[in-house]
A = this chain, B = another copy of it.
Amino acid sequence: MADKDEEMVVTPWEVRGKIDYDRLIELFGTQRIDQRLRERIYKAAGEKHFLLERGLFFSHRDLDWLLDEYAKGHPFFIYTGRGPSGQVHIGHLIPWMFTKWLKDRFKTRLYFQLTNDEKFFFEECMTIEEVRHYTYENSLDLLALGFEPETTFLIDDIKHIDLLYELGVQVAKKVTFSTAKAVYGFENSMNIGGIWYPALQAVPAFLHSWIVGKNVPCLIPCAIDQDPHWRVTRDVADKLGYYKPASIQNKFVPGLGEGGKMSSSDPMSAIFTTDKPKLARKKVMNAFTGGRATAEEQRRLGANPDVCSVFKYYSFIFMPDDRELADIDQKCRSGAILCGECKQILAPRMVEFLERHQAAREEMKDRVDEFSAARLRDEVRR
């Protein structure tokens, strides 16, 4: 759980302090997603999306340009990814579900990078075997969301390095240690793998263009903490003659405790996709809420959904319907519902979701290879 009084630090490898998203937009130099842009996305997509509507995706780079290109008949591809250092929790799935919506609505390819080399470099005690294990485990979670193999390519950094290295060396040559130090805060104690790694995270933004031999726009849906990577990637794009990737950025998905983002390192703060339903229910029942000290007080004064982790689950995944969400919000603020009752609404939805997800996940166990980026080798050779 983040200490609210601590200074805000947001890098791809560390998020702490009280997060001020307005200041992040300013610091990182991204753009806010405003109502005009939201409408533009909805129009192009053919429908609204509640995660845009509710502000989880709040910031972007070059989305207008991307939609201009799309309107001119120039399709884009989507690139996102995951550092496989542990099991996936519900918070990870939310941006992936949004990614799937984008992919389906805009009929794009998805390049999904599993940065096992990164996790190996940055996590002191992590072994190759462990990152490999989580690469597989995390792939199951992504694929359980229903992506199509024809247009979905899982890039395993270590396994598919042959597809990435030639572009990687070109990126790396354009980035000095001074730049990496300034952008990522690297110290001299950083290992030389960690210093090299940002080059590889840039690669999938150019990979499709490199494969097809012409510039194709790229959209990166991701959490705002990854933005330093895209600043470097965009800078290098210019130098290598590729389009700068556009991005659409989300806030951190809150955990079940007070404040902070859902974190794999605190097991009770997050519901993992592999949690037994009984444990998930228990975590829901223990979740931090905006309730009052006593039931009597809450009936009288109402509670505060703005700080409630249960309410955030509703907002970002379990109540896409605006009327239903407004209704629970009103009941909460008015004291018409107590936190225990409210959690009894969330718990069965969580359990049902997990059961469905776990069944889908199970089905993908023999099918991961169908999504392998290894298939791109044939496209490169053509």
Q: Is the CB of B128 within 8 A of A166?
A: yes
Nearest-CB residue, chain B, relative to A118:
B169
Contact among B176, B186, B187 with A189 in the assembled complex (CB-CB below 8 Å): B176
Q: Is the CB of A169 within 8 A of B199?
A: no
Q: Is the CB of A177 within 8 A of B190?
A: yes
Q: Is the CB of B192 within 8 A of A172?
A: yes
Counted per complex, copies of this chain come to 2
A129 to chain B, nearest CB (A): 11
Give the contacts of A127-183 with B (CB-CB under 8 A).
128, 158, 161-162, 165-166, 168-170, 172-178, 180-181
**C-alpha gap A158/B166 in the complex (Å):** 6
A176: chain B residues within 8 A (beta carbon)? 188-192
Contact among B128, B158, B175, B191 with A175 in the assembled complex (CB-CB below 8 Å): B191
Q: Is the CB of A191 within 8 A of B170?
A: no
Mostly, the A contact residues are helix
Q: Is A270 part of the contact surface with B, judged by Cβ < 8 Å?
A: no
Q: Is the CB of A172 within 8 A of B121?
A: yes
Interface size class of A (residues with CB under 8 A): 20 to 34
A198: chain B residues within 8 A (beta carbon)? 192
Q: Is the CB of A161 within 8 A of B162?
A: yes
A180: chain B residues within 8 A (beta carbon)? 192
Contact among B117, B169, B177, B187 with A117 in the assembled complex (CB-CB below 8 Å): B169
A12 to chain B, nearest CB (A): 15
Q: Is A120 part of the contact surface with B, judged by Cβ < 8 Å?
A: yes
A314 to chain B, nearest CB (A): 41
Q: Is the CB of B193 within 8 A of A169?
A: yes
Give the contacts of A311-330 with B (CB-CB under 8 A).
none
Nearest-CB residue, chain B, relative to A182:
B188
Q: Is A196 part of the contact surface with B, judged by Cβ < 8 Å?
A: yes
Q: Is the CB of A161 within 8 A of B165?
A: yes
Q: Is A195 part of the contact surface with B, judged by Cβ < 8 Å?
A: yes
A residues whose Cβ falls under 8 Å from a Cβ of B: 117, 120-121, 128, 158, 161-162, 165-166, 168-170, 172-178, 180-181, 186-196, 198-199
Give the 6 A-B residue pairs with the shortest CB-CB distance, closest first: A172-B193, A196-B196, A161-B165, A162-B162, A178-B188, A177-B188
Q: List 23 A-B contacts (CB under 8 A).
A: A120-B169, A120-B173, A121-B169, A158-B165, A158-B166, A161-B161, A162-B162, A169-B193, A172-B192, A173-B191, A173-B193, A174-B191, A175-B191, A175-B192, A176-B190, A177-B189, A177-B190, A177-B192, A177-B195, A180-B192, A181-B188, A193-B199, A195-B196
